[in-house]
Amino acid sequence: MEILLAIMTGILYAAGIYLILRRSLVKLIIGIVILGNGVNLLIFLMGGLVKGRPPLIPEDGNALEGIYADPVPQALILTAIVISFGLQSFAIVLIKRAYKVLKTDDIDTMNKTDDIT
Amino acid sequence: MKSLILKTVSKTLLPLLILFSVFVLLRGHYLPGGGFVGGLIAAVAFILHAFANGLPETKKLLRIHPGFLIPIGLTIAILSALAPIILTGDPLMTGLWQEQDVPVLGKIGSALFFDMGVYFVVVGVCLTIIFTISESV
Amino acid sequence: MTVFLFVILASFLFSLLLFGMGQKVFKRMTWFASLLPISLFLYFSSFAKPIMNGEVFNFFTAWVPSMSINLDFRLDNLALLFTLLITGVGSIVFLYTTQYMKGHPKLMRFYVFLSIFMGAMLGLVTSNNIITLFIFWELTSISSFFLIGFNNTESSSRKSAIIALSITGLGGLALLAFGVLAGQLTGTYSIAEMLQSPEIFANHEYTVYLLIFIFLAAFTKSAQFPFHFWLPGAMKAPTPVSTYLHSATMVKAGIYLLLRFTPHFQNNSYFFTTLLIVGAITMLYAAFQTLFKTDLKGILAYSTIGALGIMVFLIGIGTSASITAAIVFIVVHALYKASLFLVTGTIDHQAGTRDITKLGGLRKVLMPLSIAGLIAAFSSGGFPPTVGFIGKDLIYEATLNGGLNPTVLTTMAVLTNILMVFAGLLVGVKPFTGKQPVELGRIKKPHFLLWFMPMILAALSLLFGLFPAMVESLFTHNITPLLTGEASPHLAIWHGFNLIILLSAITIAGGIALYFLWKPSHKKESSMIKFNVWSPKSLALKFADLFQRLSYFLTRTFQNGYLRRYVLIILVLLTLVFGVHVFVNPRIFLSVKEIKELNWNEIVILAMMLVSVIFTVFTKSRLSAIAGMGVLGYTMCLIFVFYGAPDLAMTQFSIDTLTVILFVLVLYRLPKYLKLSNRTNRVRDGIIATSFGTFLAFTIIEIMNETPIKSTTEYYAENAYILAKGKNVVNVILVDFRGFDTMIEISVLAISAIGVFALLKLHLKKHEK
């Protein structure tokens, strides 16, 4: 499974990058979301996959013992998920606003509007 | 999406979901859950209510603009971080704990209040974003 | 020590004070600014007597001792000469400016820059540490930049300022190189201590670099050929600036540097020979150019370059007599040239023109000014009994007695001086004689400061000429030990009839003859323009142009404003890095065992992921792309569920829901999905993206074969309950161990919510609709 998920990460990166390279702003932001998922998966994989053993200390114990899923990448990913929501919502509103003002979705035409009179 | 069924269900679902979110928040230190998840669940609950009954209804229910929850949450979080400095003279964000266990919750400490701050900020942020966007559409 | 440090920094503090006063208050008390140079002048005068007796003052404070950069100041006779010049001419210029630029809206700014310049210049000439010398050196360049470009609404001013800054700045870098190299070779950054390793400066494998660097620094600053061209351009500055920076003080910083290091290089014949040649070329070239100028300031600019050439030439002769001559000439030149500049400024201020062909007969209105001009012109020409006469005497004495070929040297000096006599008369006398042209109209009498200030300088020229012992005791006494072993010549106005007097007479006669025979005109000026193609200035500008086009090209290629291009460049590079790594060092272990061990739910998750990704990328509708994205998020959620991350699963689930809602809400208002790129671009991007993904996957597999370091994880696992009383380790990390990060994170979230709110609730301005 690890190797297949590693390949999956590669696919997510490729898909995200392909969409980021498009001229449409909507595709750009969907690409960012997919790339974000790829990054989360990458971090998760780096912690090592452990099936069905969450990092919870048992009721009668004082520490995690034996085999357990790595909590550090989990904490990182949790932060990343929430932050990326903030980023995505801001980005999408920015796109909407830019579209309203500039009447275009094409990134290439957007930077030709510097000299609005 | 103003179907009668959803409308009826949402009225019951809203308090249930909010209760659930508070539960998730409070048990977060011992079992899966915590401020982020709890806050997101609460936000989803309100958004569901807004879809069923319309935004004005939900806003009326909330009484205050959800944006106000953000500073409230930040203040709680900062106060819980400052508490050790003020109370015991320990460095910033040192954990402070009650001696006895409280039933259901376990030990109550400054970390719990910090998590509550996170909860409020997350609810405030999500609702502000979604409400603002749906109002301006 | 502290007092001296304060004095050096006083100008900078003072400029801050002026800044704090504000334009309005300052306008009412412009005289206030003049207190600074006057008090500094008095302070430095108090050192005159002990220093004349041979004392040297050292002031030392460690600054960055680990790098040998110290606030190390040393006041000896050479430094004192310059400090008096800086503060003295400074006082005159500060006072003059109060009237010359009266009512100018940016007068305060002008004084701020002037004060900064003065502080930098004082620091430059008193620094004993080569690094602080460099810092002050650059500060003078920068303040000069702002003063040249003071009329920043004129493009020619800005251009001149940039040319001056780039030339002098280049020299500044050379000075830094010189300082660091000399410091490393000698093991000390103190200029005085460097004297203890003469072999470094005389004969060492790096001596040639030391020479190149110091020459670059001194020649750019002191406008020597072929770097002279920034100085005429610098005349775009208001006249007080030209007087102060570009004639009396700053341009002499290069001369100062050469004089300061003359003792170090005294056994190095290349040092002196180069100076001799460059100085000679500069003085002849610049003096010749004065024949073809019609703007008074243009004439003065070239005669200043000529004078600087003479100084370098004199240092290059390398005898005790010639160094004395150079130092005396610094004083002589500062007095008469500053005076002539101020005279020009007043003429310009009253008559509104500086064109020599349009000026004449001004003596009736500007009588006192014409006297000042006459004395200054005489001193410039070396007429007795002005101090200029003594200066010229010394020059001829130096050329006759020293160097390789006295005849050639003397001829060059005489030729230059004849042209200098001409230039001095042209500026100081011509505008006042003859008939006043009708076009000038009625000319008002100037404020008394506008003629009194040049008069003071002219009077000093006369005074020092009549009492040469004053110059000797003040300036040249004890300076000549710069070169060991020789006695300095005695200054006097009359040595008896000899060859020198004859040469002086020839010079004066030649200059006067030239003045009457050669009339400057615009026609002659424009006849010189066709040679401009080969002038150093146009060559430098062409080089600058080429450089600019190259940088435009590079910028257009790499930073063309298209996001895709940036991403592409970064990605191609990263792909290459990964790819090279994978191909050079293949360590991939794929086993069939993996596939066999898969159970059905894992296969379902992987299949769903694959389908949703492909669907999201290739769908033609926005809504289905969003749906695909949502499904992808839920499959991520499933992965988290199966592999022991319930917190993540819950968070991912709710966030994914919210994101889809958000996208649907907004995207209804966005345009249809258009295919904007052509096929070639899509194929190209596809190849890049695929290869990046492939190489990344290989790299991940390789990394997973390594044993991970789990010390952090173990620490949290062991201490989560013991230290933080929590059993959900992920949550404990978030709210306790790394609580501060979470604090920042929720602040960022709050900021993004405010951003969204502001973007949407903000009302569009009219033109944006």
Q: How many CA atoms lie within 13 A of A87 on its CB side?
A: 12
CA dihedral B53, B58, B59, B61 (to 10 degrees): 130
What is the value of ipTM here, to two decimals? 0.92
- Of residues B71, B114, B132, nearest to C735 (C-beta): B114
- Nearest Cα of chain C lies from the Cα of A43 at a distance, in angstroms, of 10
- Residue window 72-91, chain A: list those with CB within 8 Å of chain C: 72, 74-75, 77-79, 81-90
Hey, CA dihedral for C552, C555, C556, C561, is it positive or negative? negative
pLDDT band per the 50, 70, 90 thresholds, residue C1: low
C369 pLDDT exceeds 70?
A: yes
- Whichever domain contains A85, its CATH number is 1.10.287.3510
Residue B38 confidence (pLDDT) = 92
As to burial, measured by CB atoms within 10 angstroms (0-12 exposed, 13-18 middle, 19+ buried), residue C231 is buried
**What's the mean pLDDT in C647-672?**
85
Q: What is the mean pLDDT of residues C599-614?
A: 89
Does residue B6 register a pLDDT over 60? yes
Handedness of CA C647, C650, C656, C658 (dihedral sign): negative
Rounded Cα gap, residues C115 and C130, in angstroms: 23
Cβ separation C696–A9 shorter than 8 A: yes
Contact A67/C at CB under 8 A: no
For C756, the closest of B71, B77, B132 (CB atoms) is B132
- Stretch C636-651: mean pLDDT, rounded? 91
DSSP character at residue C662: H
How many domains is chain A built from? 1
Smallest CA–CA separation between A90 and chain C, in Å?
A: 6
Reading phi first (left if > 0) and then psi (alpha if -120 to 50, else beta), residue C588 is in beta
**Is B92 part of the contact surface with chain A (CB cutoff 8 Å)?**
no
CA dihedral C299, C301, C302, C304 (to 10 degrees): 120
Residue C282: pLDDT band with limits 50, 70, 90: very high
d(CA B117, CA C89): 67
What value does the mean pLDDT take over residues C666-683?
A: 75
Shortest Cα distance, chain B CAs vs residue A49, angstroms: 18
Which of residues 655 through 694 in chain C touch B, CB cutoff 8 A? 655, 657-658, 661-662, 665-666, 668-669
Q: Where are the alpha helices (DSSP H) in chain A?
A: 2-20, 25-46, 71-102, 107-110
- Residue B32 touches chain A, beta carbons under 8 Å: yes
The predicted-structure confidence for C207-232, as pLDDT tens digits, reads as follows 999 999 999 999 999 989 888 888 88
pLDDT at residue A116 above 50?
A: no
In contact, C87 and C44? CB cutoff 8 Å:
yes
pLDDT of residue C485: 47
Distance CA C287, CA B118 (A): 79
Record: contact B129-C734, CB cut-off 8 A: no
- Does residue A25 lie in a domain region? yes
Residue A42 covered by a domain: yes
Q: What is the mean pLDDT of residues C93-121?
A: 88
C-alpha span between C719 and C738 (Å, rounded): 13
Range of the domain at A30: 2-50+66-110
Domain for residue A28, yes or no?
A: yes
- Minimal-distance CA residue of chain B relative to C756: B129
CB atoms within 10 A of CB B20: 16
Reply yes or no on whether the pLDDT at C637 is more than 70: yes
Helix (H) or strand (E) holding C58: strand C57-64
What pLDDT score does C767 carry?
54
The mean predicted confidence, pLDDT, of chain C is 85
d(CA C144, CA C168): 10
Structure tokens given for C463: 């005074």
Q: Subunits with at least 3 CB pairs below 8 A relative to chain B?
A: A, C
C668 C-beta neighbours (distance < 10 Å), count: 11
- Interface touch C764/A100, C-beta < 8 Å: yes
Which residues of B fall within a CB distance of 8 Å from A93?
129, 133
Q: How confident is the model over C581-608, as a mean pLDDT?
A: 77
Residue C385 preceded by cis peptide, ω within 30: yes
Read off the pLDDT of each residue in C94-104 and give the average, rounded to a whole number: 86
Residue A79 domain-assigned (yes or no): yes
* Amino acid at residue number C251: V
Is the pLDDT confidence value at B100 over 80? no
Residue B120 in tokens:
């409020």
Chain A residues with CB inside 8 Å of B129's CB?
89, 93
Q: Do B32 and A89 touch (CB under 8 A)?
A: no
Q: What is the pLDDT of residues C17-56, one digit of tens each?
A: 888 887 777 777 778 888 889 999 999 888 888 887 777 8
User: pTM surpassing 0.80?
Assistant: no
Give the chains touching A; criterion: ≥3 Cβ pairs < 8 Å.
B, C
pLDDT surpasses 70 at C476: no
Q: Is the pLDDT of residue B1 over 80?
A: no
Instruction: Measure in Å the smallest separation between the Cα of A56 and chain B Cα atoms.
Output: 7
Is A57 part of any domain?
A: no
Residues of C in contact with A107 (CB under 8 A): 562-564
pLDDT for residue A117:
41
- CB contacts of B30 in chain A (<8 Å) are 56
Q: Which residue of A has its CA nearest to C707?
A: A48
Q: Three-state DSSP class for C206? A: coil
Q: What is the pLDDT, as a whole number, of residue B68?
A: 92
DSSP C300-323: HHHHHHHHHHHHHHHHHH-SHHHH
Domain boundaries, chain B: 4-136
Task: Please indicate, yes or no, if residue A43 is contained in any of the structural domains.
Answer: yes
